[in-house]
Amino acid sequence: MTAAPETVEMTVKHHSPAKLGLMQFLAGGCAGFVEVSIMHPLDLIKTRFQIQRGPDDPHRYTSLADCFKKMYRQEGALSFYKGILPPLCAEMPKRAVKFFTFEQYKTMYSYNSFLSQGVVFTLAGLSSGLTEAVIINPFEVVKVKLQSERGTISQQKSTYATAREIINQHGVRYFAGKGMTATLGRHGVFNMIYFSFYHNVKCIVPQHEDPVTEFCRKFVIGLIAGTLASCINIPFDVAKSRIQGPQPVPGQIKYSRCFATMLTIYREEG
């Protein structure tokens, strides 16, 4: 015996704002945990490519396959998970903050009747990215330091020891704020483009009743949004890795400010 349509409609729950916010927080956190667990090896390789400096770099990788091969031979299979603990610790609050604050900023900007829906999505994405960056930056400082080290993972200090070493040598302000402008740019630009593109295009492309087709619709829109956002925000990401990673000459600071670092890379490497 099947339920009448009216009965089905009555089973739909309307959650309170507090419960809805908690659900957004937890959903974003779980998504981030899964993403880091799967994608960390590629993130590590990305960082290795970003911190190498021209053809004279003795540790230069020529391709993605070359990087995989050299790391596996010289540092071992577990080396692909160097520095995974900081993003795992940070990713759940980071993603939770991303999606939770996006919804809150979207609601806040929606009260302004002069802003179109597209502008609301753009501003909410930018604001959530800037908020996210402030929280994530200290974890990024530790992660990049661990990812840039060339020894085997057994020779590496723990995440806690590395964080303590950075604080002892440079102070809490350095630990929390190193590369902050570049991190703000990276997350602000990414979220602005991602959320703006995803939500605006999702409103244009017709929905489908078939669950599989509807999932594919959202997946493709999200894939394009993420790819576009990553391509546009990559200069900030490279600058962040250079600033937070090892300097070319130990003891001498070459990469310290976001836009100055971008200009130096442009002049020296094209």
Task: Encode pLDDT of 116-154 as tens digits.
Answer: 888 999 999 999 999 999 989 999 999 999 888 887 877
Which residues in the chain belong to E strands, given as ranges?
none
Residue with tokens 């900081």: 86
What CA–CA distance (Å, rounded) separates 31 from 23? Answer: 12
Q: What is the CATH number of domain 17-269?
A: 1.50.40.10
Residue 12 has pLDDT above 70, yes or no: no
Work out the average pLDDT over 107-115.
Answer: 88
Task: Encode pLDDT of 72-94 as tens digits.
Answer: 888 888 888 888 888 888 777 77
Mean pLDDT (the chain, rounded) = 86
DSSP summary character for residue 179: T
Q: Which of 103, 176, 163 is nearest to 135 (CA)?
A: 176
Count of CB atoms within 10 A of residue 10's CB?
A: 10
pTM of the predicted protein model: 0.79
The residue extents of the domains of the chain are: 17-269
